[in-house]
Structure formats: structure tokens, C-alpha cells
Amino acid sequence: MSFSTDVKSEIIKNTDKTKKMRIAKLMGMLCFGAKISGSDQGFHLRFATENPKIARLLYTLIKNDCEIKTSIRVLRGRKSVVYFVSLDDDLEINDLFHTTSILKRGQDIEEFENYRINFDFLSDSSVQKSFIQGAFLAGGSVISPQKNCHLEFCSTSRKLCEDMQVLFKSFDLNAKIAMRKSNYVVYFKSSADVTDILSILGAYDSLMEYHNVKIMKEMRNSINRKMNCDAANMTKTLDAAFKQAEAIEKLKKLGVLDKLSDSLREVAELRLRHKELGLKELGEMMNPPIGKSGVNHRLRKLVEEAEKYK
């Protein structure tokens, strides 16, 4: 299963405390997943999903909280199974949209133009969270924490997406909107925003997994950066050591090394025998021991001396 599927399974398991919260969740599912079409026979409502748990939840909410009978139809394809929740009666669609406040008092289904959020109905944060949960079940997805940070809600209505922006603003979350083909997407790309929304969705097990994976990724990245830095430093040290050794060999062949001071000859012999060692280790082998800066100063003098002889 995908990470999105795990999050949706958690949402479905959670029980809403009040009928208003259940209706808000139903409203979110309808706004982001139900398609309305009209014909000579009247209006038709269709909700399609490949997740049987989501279809069952929608069916149950409509039946129990709106007291409207609906049906689930299963379409089996070669690679997938799609579940359709349908309503084909104008009066029942009217009742459903009034109960969920998608249609305001006095409005009729014939006046319906597009889905919008009824902010008057979403009176407090618990009801708002239930709406967001329903919206995610129908039109949401989140990328696995193993990959990049990305959580989104998809709809064909820009107005609905703009309403979602306003709703998320009440939670101090700044959503962005983009167009993808014929759809609009409300999305978040920061790890902090994604974790906040997982909390709003009530997906606490997924939230813990998200945190744990992010922590492990950060640790791996930190270790990799340190290893890369260490490798770069090692390469730099070896390059410098071989350059110093070449200079010392040159001075040796020219008979110049024997004419230099005892301190320069000592560090020169140590460098030729221990090309892999750093300045600190060379300094500790000197008699008496000296610090890194002292070793570096002497090796630099040897290189400068060699550069006098072209």
C-alpha cells in the first residue's frame, strides 16, 4: 500500500464525535469527489473511487446521517476495480446538498454551479478538520516521506481550491495553488506543513512514521556530508603531501637537502617516509614534537626552496 492509502485508512478508522462532524466530512468528500451531471431525466450524482473503504464510508454517511438510500456499483477492469456511489433522484440530491450545506437554504439543485465551501457551516476547528479529512479522502494525496515533501488536494474547481486556501489560513498554513492539466491543485511542499496537516487529518501513526523517516534521512544526509567532507580533506592532504614529497626528492637529487638546516632535513625525511600522514601526526614524530603550524611552515620552506631550481 502507498503512504496515501495508509493515511486514508487511518482517517476512516477514526470516529467523529458529533453528527455535524460527520456531515462536514461528507461535505468534504462530495466537494472533492462527487460529479454532478444533468440530462432530460434529471440530475445524476456519481462518486468514483478505487478504494472500497472510502466508497463504504460515503455510502454509510449518506444513509445514516442524511437518511437517503444510495447504491454502490462495482466496475471491474483488467487492471483495477472502481466503486461508484450514485444518486439519480433530484429530490434526494437536493436533500443531500441541503443537509451538507453545499446548497444554501432556498436554493435548488438546478441553481447549483460549482462546489464551494460553506464557511457558515464550518463553525469551529473540529468541524473544519472533519471537512479537510473528507476532502483528503476524496481528492488528496501525500508522497511517501522516503521521497520529497509534497501533500495536495486536487479539484476541477479553482474557486473550491481558493476556498481551501482560506480554510488552511485559519490553521496558519499557507497553501499554494497550481494548475495540472485540467485540474487545480492545492499543495504544500514543506515538511513542517505536511506534518501539521497529517495531525489535522488525525493520521497520528502516519505522522510518527513521517517523523521517523525524516529523522533517519537527516541523519544519513549528515553522515554523507561528513564523509564527503572527510574524503575531500583527505584528498587535499594527500595532494599536498605528494607535492611536498616531490619537492623534497628534487632537493635530494640536486644535493641541496644536505645543505639545509637539521630541522628542515628532519621534517623532509619524515614526509618522504610517511606521505599518508597529516601535519599533526608528523609534528608528533619530531624530536622534540612541534605543532601543525610549525610543520606546515617547514614544509612550505622546502617547497619554496625546490621552486628556485627550474
Indicate whether 191 pLDDT > 90.
Answer: no
The pLDDT assigned to 303 comes to 84
Same domain, 194 and 78: yes
Same domain, 27 and 126: yes
Q: What's the CA gap between 276 and 285, in Å, rounded?
A: 14
Indicate whether 129 pLDDT > 90.
Answer: yes
Same domain, 115 and 8: yes
- What percent of the chain lies above the pLDDT cut of 70? 97
Could you tell me if residue 272 is inside a domain?
A: yes
Q: Is 5 left (phi over 0), alpha (psi -120 to 50) or beta?
A: alpha
Could you tell me if residue 70 is inside a domain?
A: yes
The pLDDT assigned to 230 comes to 67
Indicate whether 46 pLDDT > 80.
Answer: yes
Grid cell, residue 273, equals 617516509
Confidence of residue 78 (pLDDT cuts 50, 70, 90): confident
pLDDT tens figures, 212-234: 877 676 677 777 777 777 677 77
Indicate whether 276 pLDDT > 90.
Answer: no
Domain boundary among 180, 202, 224: 202
Same domain, 102 and 189: yes
Could you tell me if residue 294 is inside a domain?
A: yes
Same domain, 178 and 302: no
Q: What is the mean pLDDT of residues 166-174?
A: 95
Same domain, 73 and 165: yes
Q: What are phi and psi of 86, to 5 degrees?
A: -130, 150
pLDDT tens figures, 299-310: 888 888 888 877
Same domain, 164 and 244: no
Same domain, 183 and 118: yes
Same domain, 66 and 123: yes
Indicate whether 27 pLDDT > 90.
Answer: yes
Q: What's the CA gap between 309 and 303, in Å, rounded?
A: 11
Q: Is 181 left (phi over 0), alpha (psi -120 to 50) or beta?
A: left
DSSP letters along 196-255, please?
A: HHHHHTT-HHHHHHHHHHHHHHHHHHHHHHHHHHHHHHHHHHHHHHHHHHHHHHHHHHTT
Could you tell me if residue 278 is inside a domain?
A: yes
| 212 contact partners, CB below 8 Å, separation of at least 6 | none
Q: Which of 125, 97, 115 is nearest to 153 (CA)?
A: 115
Mean pLDDT of the chain: 88
Domain boundary among 148, 183, 202: 202
The pLDDT assigned to 213 comes to 74
Could you tell me if residue 226 is inside a domain?
A: no
The pLDDT assigned to 139 comes to 95
Q: Residue type at 49?
A: T
Q: What's the CA gap between 8 and 295, in Å, rounded?
A: 64
The answer to whether 188 and 199 have CB atoms below 8 angstroms apart is no
Could you tell me if residue 156 is inside a domain?
A: yes
Indicate whether 2 pLDDT > 90.
Answer: no
Grid cell, residue 9, equals 485508512
Same domain, 187 and 242: no
Indicate whether 118 pLDDT > 80.
Answer: yes
Q: Which of 173-177, 234-238, 256-260 shows the lowest per-residue confidence on average (mean pLDDT)?
A: 234-238
Per-position b or e across 123-151, b if 16+ CB within 10 A of its CB: eeeebbbbbbbbbbbbbbbbbebeeebeb
The answer to whether 164 and 35 have CB atoms below 8 angstroms apart is no
Could you tell me if residue 213 is inside a domain?
A: no
Task: Find the Cα–Cα–Cα–Cα dihedral 163, 166, 170, 174, rounded to 10°.
Answer: 120
Indicate whether 11 pLDDT > 90.
Answer: yes
pLDDT tens figures, 240-257: 878 888 888 888 888 888
Same domain, 156 and 273: no
Q: What is the CATH number of the domain that holds 189?
A: 3.10.28.10
Could you tell me if residue 228 is inside a domain?
A: no
Domain range holding 243?
A: 233-306
Grid cell, residue 225, equals 556530508
The answer to whether 141 and 126 have CB atoms below 8 angstroms apart is no
The answer to whether 107 and 94 have CB atoms below 8 angstroms apart is no
Indicate whether 51 pLDDT > 80.
Answer: yes
Q: Which of 150-159, 206-215, 264-273, 277-286 shows the lowest per-residue confidence on average (mean pLDDT)?
A: 206-215
C-alpha triplet 280, 284, 286: angle, nearest 5°: 120
**Cα-trace Rg, the chain:** 35
Q: Which helix (H) or strand (E) holds 63?
A: helix 52-65
Q: What is the mean pLDDT of residues 169-198?
A: 92
Domain boundary among 187, 202, 217: 202
Same domain, 16 and 131: yes
Q: What's the CA gap between 250 and 97, in Å, rounded?
A: 91
Domain total in the chain: 2
Q: What's the CA gap between 29 and 25, in Å, rounded?
A: 6
Indicate whether 184 pLDDT > 90.
Answer: yes
